[in-house]
Chains A and B, each alone.
Chain A
Amino acid sequence: MLSFSKKIWQRHDIAVLAAALLSCLVLALLPSETKQSLGGGVVGIVFAPLELGAAQIRSMFFSRAENQELRQKLVEYQQEVFKLQQAARDNDQLRSLLGLKGRSRWLLQPAWVAGREPGTRCPRLLVNFDDSLAIDDGLVTIGEMGLVGRIEGAGQGRAGIRTVFDPDSRVSAFLPRSRVLGIFRTDQAMNCILDRVPLRSDIKPGDTVLTSGYGGVFPSGLMLGRVSAVYTDPRQLTMHIQVDPSLDLNRLSHLFIIVGGDNPPRPELQSMGIPKDSLAAKLKIRTRPAPVL
């Protein structure tokens, strides 16, 4: 296919290819910290202006309809807040009577998305935040739609986030209705699934999936999504559950980093009602009829 009319090292295209591949090799062999900072820096500097412009354009197009919607929501939420304040007061009083720990009060710091990896459910985000903040790796980030992920590769005013869609990410999840634990993760087709749920668990489409807090990484009570489909195979030990995630990265522009505060208590796992013994119905005590006297 190649016509080697000249010696191979004299060919200009081969020389260019060799130089370019050598550059790739150098990039691949860089230390991982340098890769992180180089990637974050380039995205922050090169793509941030485009992201800013795109955000302005998006806001121009959507702001009017969004304003109307927000006004309507504001009225609804004001009423809701009034009800919730009353409920919170009652809750605090009852908790103090029962001697329970108080509700969670997180210390949150805002951040905004500067870049994202290509893909519908991207495993990694780059965010910017206030330069004066000291943000460490491992901190949890949340959005209005629930859990977003963990900080990885934090720098001055900039950090990467490994989202819940990362193929290596595992989140301990909890279904409040049936009080069942599972592992929330993405499969190879980037579908969100709930793993390791025992076969005979009471799970239905529409059930809410929250973080359990038992994994020790994420606090409990953060929204992960809703069950979209449940498949059971009697030959397997666990159910196959598909989850419709609440997090939509296409709509995520601002998020919060949990930098401190108290986490809410972890949920109780045992069922509220007294479970019936499945064998009880099958046991039949045979009694001999009394002899006729």
Chain B
Amino acid sequence: MIRGFKIALASWLAVYLQSTAANLMTFWGLTPSLAVIIISLAGLKQGTPAAVWTGLWAGFLADCFHPASFGLYSAAGTAIGFLAGLVRERIYREQLISQAVLIASLTMIHMTLVFFGREGGKLSLYPWYLARFALGSAGLTSIVAVFVLPALERWIYARGRNRNAPAL
């Protein structure tokens, strides 16, 4: 229950930072996707259902900034949450490198889904978008994740003090 609340809070902060402070982190027009980091973490630590609900919540908050395409970010978040849960058992999820690679892949998938959802039939623009934005943002997100993930993991998934542990 408390974990769920913490994840919801982290998603809320991530979407807010994405919309304001992420502009300060923008490098050559590329912005890290903070919500993807939270969704991936939920998927890796708790599995598919938690990641799907996290993706839906974070996506819904992002959708509120895009009323014209309402539901698109929710669907994209849900999809990458599902994927994060799906690959949970198939990678070395305790390794930071594996986590970073997964986050980069999910960022690319997320950006691709949003691109096709928003731009519709402009398929000819996709290679340019992939080369200019999706790959760069995926790399930047994974770099940010390397620094942010351990702290987030400690905060959300920290175990309480074991009262039955023998005194040393």
Chain A residues close to B by CB (< 8 Å): 1-2, 12-13, 16-17, 20-21, 23-30, 32, 35-36, 38-40, 42-43, 46-47, 50-51, 54, 115-120, 122, 124, 126, 153, 160, 188-190, 250
Contact of B78 with A117 in the complex, beta carbons under 8 Å: no
Q: Are B49 and A189 in contact (CB under 8 A)?
A: no
15 contacts between A and B (CB under 8 A): A13-B82, A13-B85, A16-B48, A20-B56, A20-B78, A24-B74, A27-B74, A38-B64, A46-B61, A54-B21, A115-B65, A116-B65, A118-B65, A119-B31, A153-B67
B125 lies within 8 A of chain A by Cβ:
yes
- Known: A118-B18, A118-B62. Contact between A17 and B48, CB under 8 A? yes
Compute the total of residue contacts between A and B using a CB distance below 8 Å: 113
> In the complex, which residues of chain A have a beta carbon less than 8 angstroms from the beta carbon of B61?
42, 46
Q: Are B19 and A24 in contact (CB under 8 A)?
A: no
Known: A189-B132, A190-B29. A124 touches B65 (CB 8 A): yes
Q: A28 to chain B: which residues have CB within 8 Å?
A: 70-72, 75
CB proximity to A under 8 Å, residues B25-41: 26, 29, 31
> Is the pair A21, B75 in contact by a Cβ cutoff of 8 Å?
yes
Residues of B within 8 A of A (CB): 12-13, 16, 18-24, 26, 29, 31, 47-49, 52-53, 55-56, 59-68, 70-72, 74-75, 78, 81-82, 85-86, 125, 132
**CB-based contact A39/B65 at 8 Å:** yes
B70 touches A12 (CB 8 A): no
Once bound together, how far apart are the Cα atoms of A43 and B60, in whole Å? 11
Find B75's partner among A24, A42, A126 (CB 8 Å cutoff).
Answer: A24
Would you give the shortest CB distance from A118 to chain B, in whole angstroms?
Answer: 4
